[in-house]
Structure 1
Amino acid sequence: MKTMMASGLAALVLTTVVGVSNASVIPSLTAAAAIVSSAATPFSRERVQLTDEVLANLSLTIGNSSISNTFQFADAIHENGSQRSCKVMPGSPLWPSDRHWDLFDVLLGHRLVKTVPLAAPCFPNWPEYDVDKCTIITGDWMTSNTHMNDPASIMLPLYEGRTCMPPGYNYTSSCELGGYPAYVVNASNVAQIQLAINFARNQNLRLVVKNTGHDFNGKAAGKGALSIWTHWLKDMAFYSHYHAANGYVGPAMKVGAGIQVWEAYEYAKRHDVTVLGGEAVTVGLGGGYTAGGGHSPLSSLYGMAADQVLAMEVVLANGRFITANSTHHSDIFWMLRGGGGSTIGVVTSLTIKAYPKLPTTAVTFNFTVHDAPNASAFWQGVRSYLDHIEAFVDAGTYGYYYVGASPLEIGTDPGSTDYYFRMESFIAPNMTIAETKSLLAPWFEVLDHQNISYTPWYNHADNFHDTWAVAFPQEYVGTAMVKTASRLMPRSVFQSATLRERTFAAHQDAIEQSLFIAGFHVSGTGIAVSPRNDTSVLPAWRDALAHVIVGTQWTSNATWETVYNSSLRVTQWMDVLREIAPESGAYMSEGDLLEPNQQQAFYGTNYPMLYALKQKYDPTGLFYALTAVGAEDWEVQTTDPVPYSWNNNGRLCPVPGL
């Protein structure tokens, strides 16, 4: 990445008007945030805000309204209502000049980054070409840390267009910026986020938000976009006695938008409490994870991640900073707890419930067709797992399993009959090893009866963190060789012998069709808490007992024709599960970009209200992401040989006729 250098005039404006010298913010940019709770206050980063006075002084000093207006709040200048047009792209006459970008960078305190693709050191046509750096990047390419620590890279580059990947991962010999954003604001305070939002809105730029880059549909990508990177908003605070607006009284944690699961779990452990987060180590709590509902190893016990939020700080599409809870901006609070990210604003922090220290047991094991007398016995072992899912969920447990056919026990190799079942981790919160063994006994008795060999490994700790840390290693990312789809399977499926048999048959058929399955037994209604009814979480989550992901794969050098055909094949195969559970839905954060009836599948009956709030708080469509609320009003005019809106490598325009 290249840091933008400020012009002398821009530096003078910054020092004189905004009160920033040598990239340090002084009190003229600081305004007290609204303190809604008596227990918690905004982080210091959140107290650094734009004000009307600061922006008015900036306008006077610049003396050019066409320039100064690009940094103003939406309600401070004339707006064109809800009129929309294609977003401005680099090279367009309307694209900001270099001097304008320089001024923007200075006002940000030199936090603007011009994007260079992470793999650029591997390509001689880039100034960053460096063989040694390329070797390091290539070796680390499949680790989450590599991508989450880069301002623009995402975990699944298929959705930015596969435009710049290191040797062995790329399908071409070239490196282009593609669907990565043109510039990134490396945010360290609220004022910078406000400036970025105002600048993007007033200049009609595409705006994207990156927390860590985790997303099955690459929502943090966008060709020609300005990106806001919230990864380094790392503040945390613990409150032993928090009074929430909704009446909750008890322990709570406040976490910055950049806090990741591993950081939150470690911090909770230090305070002898437990918080709910994802299973993946590097997922960011304040990003699309919580906004999209967020399932967790603790969901069957405590519900969804969105259920845990007591308050949140948000910069809205108009550039204003607010605190939202159940009594202040309650509609926004409802929307951003389950209605998905990239909708109406940028979350800068969350205050979440904390629960007592939680002893937890994990079990890991696998069995393959070679551990069974024959394939029939193997599949009987898989069938028995599905037969017991209801009992497992009702005990408050969580299971993350894989089914496929490959000697490496990863994915499915076409034509392979090397069937495997892998329990990545069976999490039993608030249970001893003995209690966990007792719960698993009916399933294991079937495995024994089928003469299936397996060796469960039990791990127990007196706190959730230590068990989780062993059970869930960092996952592989960075490839563009997989396409997935998913479905939530409700309780009624597992209570019906007929529907349960059809679900098992679907598992077997998927593998025989050279697909693979990564599934979870999990509920969005925790057994230890009262069910929530004040969030926008997809209603299907409340009755779900399983979240089933089905996928296909191809080689790294696959053509776009292969990507196209394989993608359609997975979407079409998923009709099998849609027909078994037609009234259910799909988890948007791990869903199919091509999911039919997306609004119903990802949002259910909440969608009309979510769409209305989208129009109320973001009438010009500043925030956009594939599959997000309001996405149907826009199209990504994809430059790759796939249909529009199949990835983010293209100009964003309103759908004609809308």
Structure 2
Amino acid sequence: MARLGGVRINLDMNLAPAFGIVPTTLPAFGYGSGPLCGPLAPLASDWAALNDTVEGRLHFGHPWAKPCFSIYNGNKVQPNYEECAHVQDNFFNNHLNRSHAFGGYASTQFEACMATEESCLLDWTNAKNPSSFTTPQQCSQGSISPFYIDVRKKEDVMAAFQFSKEKGVTLTIKNTGHDFQGRSSAPDSLGLWIKHEPEFVAEGCDVEGQSAVTFGAGSQFHDLIEFAEAHGLQVVAGSDQSVGAAGGWAQGGGHSPLTPNYGLGADRTASRFPHTRFDLQYKVVTPDGVYRTVNKCQNEDLFFALRGGGGGTFGVVLEATMMASPRQSFRMANINWPPNNNNLREVLEIFLNNVTTFAKQGFGGYLTPTIGNLVLISPVPDLDEAQDLFKPLVELTTKMDGKSSVAEIASLHEWFQGWVDGRNGEQDPVGLPVALSSRFVPAKNHETESGRAELKEALINAFAHSAFSQIHITTAYGFKGSKGLDTSVHPSWRTALYQVIFVNSWYWDGTMADQQLAYTESTKAANYLREITPGAGAYLNEADIHEPNFEESFWGGHYPRLLEIKKKYDPDHLLDCWHCVGWKGPQEPQYKCYI
């Protein structure tokens, strides 16, 4: 069993940076009477006692760009030019460094308070643009938790839950900040930070030709992929270095270019090997204060919930064990064309005619209209078969003066280095506001010529309403290992060929109208597909924050069972997040920054 250790959970409250100096009153951040700044705010002595309990790991949380500003929460402060330079150098599109900062989020509107337009953000088009951070610009707390706990052990989490229950303080759970729903931040909350620590400390356990990897909840795919490669293994992994492997990715389902052949992340923790002592599992502290081992043999209902029910809902996962496979070579189709609407229409026609076959052959990957690229990988066919399969697309795009090929790559690690770490392609950027929506597209929409024609027009119209869009051929349609009945992911993951995402954004000084327009356009884009895919649903981690009928859209018929499990393990409802199972609704103070 290989283990990647190091878990941090942040409880966001407003303490002094060095806890030896504790303010007698907590500062108000301008958002009203939240649990940290209103009449019910815990006393300084309460915070001191909590800090003692967690052995001095209660810290002050502040926005990542704060060192660049001269005014913070209405008060004059001295900029830290060295720290500011680091933030500026890494502000836009540095996935790993941004994820390693407590106040850093991939989608920066969740560092801010959208509803009040209060933020602490640099110009993502030019982070050294002085007009974004010099006076009269101010740095406001936004949605960053003013206190957090650096969690190192299960007792820290237990203390946080007890504090929340006794003092009425809202909790948030932050892993890496790769979050499109704002579920890992909230104003006036106590944050639980699961911080990145890259050390693996134990070897894998071979079982029936398989093996498994155990890692701490702060582990990111960058390190997990490197570890697997060094040990002759591969794991189902998301296509971003900074995503936490055990956090919301796996707990929400977890898709990957390997999913058509190997299943979802939720499937990789879903099997029990017979005749062994080893179960694929989670270790979690539930809000009732109990540390639990969760697998197919114990706490089975919670095991079901944690494999698709969503992160930040049922407890704080401290460790996960996931199936690994022997390292394999892949056939990779890299199809490129000059991006324009006419070329896209021709590419889409061939793609829609053949994507069902692609999925059945284990091919997974991404089609990105804005850069004119389709990249797919599979370990199933040999090179000659793969070249025949993609011959129509290669010939078409070559005539368009695109450079396309079908080739052999040695491992998933090679793919990850080239198309995720960015050596051979562009990665989706972070460090800017992201108004996102998405939709599953079922295989049945591709069964007839008229269905494919309708779908092509819907996609073209939807793309026109998004600044960035992408087709993710990362569903479990071609996966033969499980029907997924023991996971809580939406059944559409098994019947859809892909999901489509739509993204709009705004500039650092964008107005409320700009923000609303971005979300409205993303919703309009998704509506073109919603109209022709009734009941198909959406991926809860990459969905519209205004997703209609979210309970059905994210979980289908699983929602009633998930709600009962939520009530069982979180009877006091200490964990709540936007559009999560058991969500209290937008009227709660922690959601006052949403628009």
Calculate the TM-score normalised by the size of structure 1: 0.77
Q: 1:41 to 1:97 in 2, by over 3 A?
A: farther
Q: Indicate which of 131, 140, 158 corresponds to 1:176.
A: 140
Shift of 1:233: 5.4
- Tell me what 2:26 maps to: none
Q: Is 1:118–2:74 an aligned residue pair?
A: no
Q: 1:577 to 1:134 in 2, by over 3 A?
A: same
- Alpha carbons 1:304, 1:525 under 8 Å: kept: no
Structure 2 residue matching 1:185: 3-state secondary structure: strand
- Tell me what 2:122 maps to: 166
Q: Is 1:497–2:449 an aligned residue pair?
A: yes
- Tell me what 1:53 maps to: none
Instruction: Please give the root-mean-square deviation of Cα atoms over the aligned residues, in Å.
Output: 2.6
Q: Is 1:523–2:497 an aligned residue pair?
A: no
Structure 2 residue matching 1:294: 3-state secondary structure: coil
- Summarize the alignment of residues 166-565 of structure 1 with structure 2, pairs less than 5 Å apart: 166-167=122-123, 168=126, 173-232=137-196, 234=198, 236=200, 237-242=202-207, 250-309=210-269, 310-369=280-339, 376-404=342-370, 409=371, 421-423=372-374, 425-447=375-397, 451-456=399-404, 460-473=408-421, 475=427, 477-513=429-465, 515-565=467-517
- Tell me what 2:16 maps to: none
Q: In structure 2, how many angstroms separate the alpha carbons of the residues matched to 1:113 and 1:459?
A: 50
622-631 or 494-503, which deviates more? 494-503
Q: In structure 1, how many angstroms separate the alpha carbons of the residues matched to 2:583 and 2:566?
A: 10
Q: In structure 1, how many angstroms separate the alpha carbons of the residues matched to 2:2 and 2:64?
A: 37
State the AA in 1 paired with 2:322: I
Q: 1:357 to 1:235 in 2, by over 3 A?
A: same
State the AA in 2 paired with 1:178: G
Structure 1 residue matching 2:368: 3-state secondary structure: strand
State the AA in 1 paired with 2:109: L
- Alpha carbons 1:261, 1:278 under 8 Å: kept: yes
Q: In structure 1, how many angstroms separate the alpha carbons of the residues matched to 2:5 and 2:179?
A: 29
Q: 1:378 to 1:606 in 2, by over 3 A?
A: closer
Q: 1:174 to 1:43 in 2, by over 3 A?
A: closer
Q: How big is each residue's C-alpha offset from its partner over 1:84-140, in whole Å with a ceiling of 9 and x where there is no partner?
A: xx9952222322222321221122122111012110111112445123432331221
Q: Is 1:98–2:53 an aligned residue pair?
A: no
- Alpha carbons 2:5, 2:215 under 8 Å: kept: no
- Alpha carbons 2:314, 2:570 under 8 Å: kept: yes
221-230 or 264-273, which deviates more? 264-273
Shift of 1:365: 4.2
Q: In structure 2, how many angstroms separate the alpha carbons of the residues matched to 1:621 and 1:106?
A: 25
- Summarize the alignment of residues 44-193 of structure 1 with structure 2, pairs less than 5 Å apart: 89-126=35-72, 127=77, 129-142=79-92, 143-161=94-112, 163-167=119-123, 168=126, 173-193=137-157
State the AA in 2 paired with 1:239: G
Shift of 1:444: 2.4
- Tell me what 2:582 maps to: 630
Q: 1:632 to 1:105 in 2, by over 3 A?
A: closer
State the AA in 2 paired with 1:252: A
Q: 1:516 to 1:625 in 2, by over 3 A?
A: same
Q: In structure 2, how many angstroms separate the alpha carbons of the residues matched to 1:567 and 1:219?
A: 17
Q: In structure 2, how many angstroms separate the alpha carbons of the residues matched to 1:97 and 1:179?
A: 22
Shift of 1:455: 0.8
Q: In structure 2, how many angstroms separate the alpha carbons of the residues matched to 1:95 and 1:134?
A: 32
Q: In structure 1, how many angstroms separate the alpha carbons of the residues matched to 2:170 and 2:294?
A: 26
Q: 1:537 to 1:378 in 2, by over 3 A?
A: closer
State the AA in 2 paired with 1:95: A
Structure 2 residue matching 1:518: 3-state secondary structure: strand
Q: How big is each residue's C-alpha offset from its partner over 1:430-471, in whole Å with a ceiling of 9 and x where there is no partner?
A: 4554443222113223445xx312112566443322232212
State the AA in 1 paired with 2:413: H
- Paired residues, what number? 538
Q: In structure 1, how many angstroms separate the alpha carbons of the residues matched to 2:433 and 2:317?
A: 31
State the AA in 2 paired with 1:426: L
- Alpha carbons 1:45, 1:190 under 8 Å: kept: no
- Alpha carbons 2:305, 2:487 under 8 Å: kept: yes
Q: Which protein has the larger Cα radius of gyration, Structure 1 or Structure 2? A: 1
Structure 2 gaps of 5+ residues are 8-31, 114-118, 270-279
Q: In structure 2, how many angstroms separate the alpha carbons of the residues matched to 1:577 and 1:613?
A: 32
Structure 1 gaps of 5+ residues are 1-39, 47-85, 243-247, 410-420, 648-658
458-467 or 335-344, which deviates more? 458-467
- Tell me what 1:600 maps to: 552
Shift of 1:342: 1.0
Q: 1:463 to 1:178 in 2, by over 3 A?
A: same
Q: In structure 2, how many angstroms separate the alpha carbons of the residues matched to 1:378 and 1:594?
A: 29
Q: Is 1:581–2:537 an aligned residue pair?
A: no
Shift of 1:569: 3.0
- Alpha carbons 1:265, 1:275 under 8 Å: kept: yes
Calculate the TM-score normalised by the size of structure 2: 0.84
Q: In structure 1, how many angstroms separate the alpha carbons of the residues matched to 2:482 and 2:565?
A: 27
- Alpha carbons 1:362, 1:471 under 8 Å: kept: no
Structure 2 residue matching 1:197: 3-state secondary structure: helix
Shift of 1:354: 1.5
- Tell me what 1:64 maps to: none
- Tell me what 2:10 maps to: none
- Alpha carbons 2:96, 2:241 under 8 Å: kept: no
- Alpha carbons 1:210, 1:230 under 8 Å: kept: yes
